[in-house]
């Protein structure tokens, strides 16, 4: 190339740089991006603790969108809240809404199908620890539950734990040692009937489970039962009232009620 076509920079005696400047519009576009970035940092947060002249924030944007959604759906949830849970459980539209709320707030513990997992109760059968009546379910959702069983190991001793374990196994129709169970019955009467009842069928007012069926939230093996008797349990369902609000909790209660076919009896854990 001729000398007038290059910048004058030469490498290795034969590599020259052509004099091809950027188009003028490209250069002005670059200047424009600088101006835009300065303006952006003035109006929006981006420099340390400076909040920007517009006062915008992600949290504020989120709260505004939530408020808009609340206003948009308020009438719908108010209509649902005025409908009894039993009727709402028969409404396909309400159940779709309840399912969406359930998946976003409840499925992490109870499963997307409501069948639960160890220590997380199955919502699809007819067994409810705190009662499966519609309003009781709603109360459980809003206020949560805190199920506590005290450890009886220190009071019973190792032999006593084994004896009561065998008695509980026998109550639920499982294979057990009859001699140990006979000893365990006396200790059960002394330590356990206040919550579980003399017949072992539990007490919904206390959230004490039925020990005479084959539904075991925390495991029904000999080892699991012995461990629970010895060490006790502390099983909590967190309150959802502040997250859902009463109207949405009403819809979720209808959905949960529908999962068990509208069966409100029994002693299943909520």
Mean pLDDT in residue range 9-36: 89
DSSP string, the chain: --GGGEEEEEETTTEEEE--PPPHHHHHHHHHHHHHHHHHHHHSS-BTTB--TT---HHHHHHHHHHHHHHHHHHHHHHHHTS-HHHHTT-HHHHHHHHHHHHHHTHHHH-TTS--BTTB--SSSS--BS--SHHHHHHHHHH-EEEEE---HHHHHHHHHHHHHHHHHHHTT----HHHHHHHHHHHHHHTHHHH-TTS--BTTTTBPPSSSS--TT--SHHHHHHHHHH-EEEEE---HHHHHHHHHHHHHHHHHHHTTT---S-B--
Question: Does the pLDDT value for residue 236 go beyond 80?
Answer: yes
Note whether 232 and 250 are same-domain residues.
no
Residue 28 placed within a domain: yes
DSSP lists the bridge partners of residue 237 as 145
Residue 217 is part of a domain; what is its CATH number?
1.10.760.10
Predicted local distance difference test score (pLDDT) of residue 13: 82
Is the whole model's pTM more than 0.85, yes or no? no
Summarised one tens digit per residue, pLDDT across range 45-68 is: 988 889 999 999 999 999 999 899
Residues of the domain holding 203: 148-237
268 belongs to a structural domain: no
Tell me: pLDDT of 174 over 60.
yes
Q: Residue 264 falls within a domain, yes or no?
A: no
Longest CA–CA span in the chain (Å) reads 111
Judge if 30 and 77 occupy the same domain.
no
193 shares its domain with 225: yes
**In the predicted model, what is the mean pLDDT of the chain?**
92
Tell me, yes or no, whether 244 and 188 share the same domain.
Answer: no
The verdict on residue 66 lying in a domain is yes
Residue 202: predicted pLDDT: 95
Domain total of the chain: 3
Contact 60, 68 (CB under 8 A): no
- Statement to judge: residues 214 and 243 lie in one domain: no
Question: Do 157 and 135 share a structural domain?
Answer: no
Question: What's the pLDDT score for residue 266?
Answer: 43
Judged against a pLDDT cut of 90, whether residue 15 lies above it is answered with: no
Helix/strand/coil percent split, the chain, to 5: 55, 10, 35
Residue 64 and residue 110 share a domain: yes
**pLDDT tier at 208, thresholds 50, 70, 90:** very high
* 51 in a structural domain: no
Report whether pLDDT(263) > 70.
Answer: no
pLDDT at position 261: 83
């Amino acid at each position: 190339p001729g000398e007038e076509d290059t910048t004058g920079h030469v490498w290795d005696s034969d590599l020259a740089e052509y004099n091809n400047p950027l188009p003028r519009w490209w250069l002005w576009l670059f200047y424009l991006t600088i101006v835009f970035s300065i303006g952006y940092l003035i109006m929006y947060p981006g420099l340390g603790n400076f909040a920007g002249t517009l006062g915008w924030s992600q949290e504020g944007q989120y709260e505004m969108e939530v408020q808009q959604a609340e206003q948009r759906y308020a009438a719908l949830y108010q209509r649902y809240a005025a409908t009894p849970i039993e009727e709402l459980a028969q409404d396909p539209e309400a159940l779709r809404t309840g399912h969406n709320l359930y998946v976003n707030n409840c499925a992490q513990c109870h499963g997307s199908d409501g069948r639960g997992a160890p220590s997380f109760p199955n919502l699809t059968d007819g067994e409810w620890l705190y009662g499966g009546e519609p309003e009781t379910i709603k109360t459980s959702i809003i206020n949560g539950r805190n199920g506590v069983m005290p450890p009886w190991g220190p009071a019973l001793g190792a032999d006593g734990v084994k004896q009561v374990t065998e008695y509980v196994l026998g109550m639920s129709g499982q294979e057990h040692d009859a001699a140990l169970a006979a000893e365990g019955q006396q200790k059960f009467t002394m330590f356990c009937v206040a919550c579980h009842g003399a017949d072992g069928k539990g007490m919904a007012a206390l959230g004490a489970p039925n020990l005479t069926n084959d539904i075991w939230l925390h495991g029904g093996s000999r080892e699991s039962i012995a461990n629970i008797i010895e060490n006790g349990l502390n099983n909590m369902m967190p309150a959802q009232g502040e997250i859902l609000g009463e109207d949405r909790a009403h819809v979720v209660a209808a959905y949960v009620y529908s999962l068990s076919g509208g069966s409100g009896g029994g002693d299943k854990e909520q």
